[in-house]
Amino acid sequence: MPYATTEQLGAYFGADGESESPSTIPEDAARLLVRASELVADHIVTAVYDVDSDGNATDGTVIAALRDATCAQVEFWLTGDEEDDILGPLQSVSTQGVQLQMGAGENRPTPMYLAPRAARALRRAGLLSGVVGS
């Protein structure tokens, strides 16, 4: 179950008033929210917080942080490209011969970058510590 709904995503896009936020909800918002929730859950796997019998957070601060982090992750993907999170970051480049290498190399895990705003929301709620991201 995603940490945010499409309605909450729309409210998030309108809440900060920043021009980078998309003006409309994408058609695949439900899918993006599920994927973003999976990524957020992976980053807070060691966090300790109260949950109900279904495993859902019960504290309002935690619920809001999970919602905001999920929406921030979707925003990050929409203003950049979700493909970067799937394929991995640019690893090398050559200018004259125009060579690019995308994705994780043999010695690197597939990237799972948490958006900076998502990381901040989780850190403020005490769910995440340290530096996360690219």
pLDDT digits (tens, 9 = 90+) for 24-71: 788 999 999 999 999 999 999 999 999 999 999 999 999 999 999 999
**Contact status, residue 29 vs residue 74, Cβ threshold 8 Å:** yes
Instruction: Write down the pTM of the prediction.
Output: 0.74
What's the rounded mean pLDDT across residues 71-88? 73
| H-helix segments, 6-133 | 6-15, 29-43, 60-79, 82-87, 116-124
